[in-house]
């Protein structure tokens, strides 16, 4: 039973790490957009794609949107990191239980062999 729980924890950890990587990729993309906005003139034309349509957006609104996305992504990354920590703690606890079970089994085998 403990082995299955440990395997499930490993799967959960992999899923969370993958989610974190996707968030970091989104964070990098948005940071790049923010840097591009920083070098644009205030009267530059900025277009936002919504479905198949490009809509004109003013720079202030676009910058605010990107900043809001970056804040949201930062919060999500922090949440995922907390979840990863929790999973790692559970993993260590289960690993300790497995070691105790293996040790007890070895002692029983040694006692039976004597």
- Where exactly are the structural domains of the chain? 2-101
According to the model, what pLDDT value does residue 112 have?
A: 82
Count other C-beta atoms under 10 Å from residue 29's C-beta. 13
Q: Across all residues in the chain, what is the average pLDDT?
A: 92
Compute the CA torsion angle 67, 73, 78, 81 (nearest 10 deg). Answer: -150
Percent of the chain at pLDDT > 70 equals 96
Q: What is the pLDDT of residues 69-113, one digit of tens each?
A: 999 999 999 999 999 999 999 889 988 888 898 899 898 888 887
| Phi, psi of 57, rounded to the nearest 5 degrees | -135, 140
Residue 46 has pLDDT above 70, yes or no: yes
Q: How confident is the model at residue 15 (pLDDT cuts 50, 70, 90)?
A: very high
SS (H, E, C) 13-47: HHHHHHHHHHHHHHHHHHHHHHHHHHHCCCCCCEE
pTM: 0.78
3-state helix, strand, coil in the chain (%, to 5): 80, 10, 10
According to the model, what pLDDT value does residue 1 have?
A: 61
Q: What CATH class has 2-101?
A: mainly alpha
């Amino acid at each position: 039973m403990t082995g299955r729980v440990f395997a499930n924890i490993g799967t959960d950890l992999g899923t969370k790490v993958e989610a974190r990587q996707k968030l970091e990729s989104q964070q990098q993309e948005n940071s790049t957009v923010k840097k591009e906005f920083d070098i644009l003139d205030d009267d530059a034309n900025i277009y936002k794609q919504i479905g198949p349509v490009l809509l004109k957006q003013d720079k202030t609104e676009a910058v605010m949107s990107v900043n809001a996305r970056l804040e949201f992504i930062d919060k999500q990354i922090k949440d995922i990191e907390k979840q990863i920590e929790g999973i790692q703690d559970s993993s260590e606890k289960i690993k300790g239980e497995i070691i105790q079970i293996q040790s007890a089994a070895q002692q029983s085998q040694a006692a039976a062999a004597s």
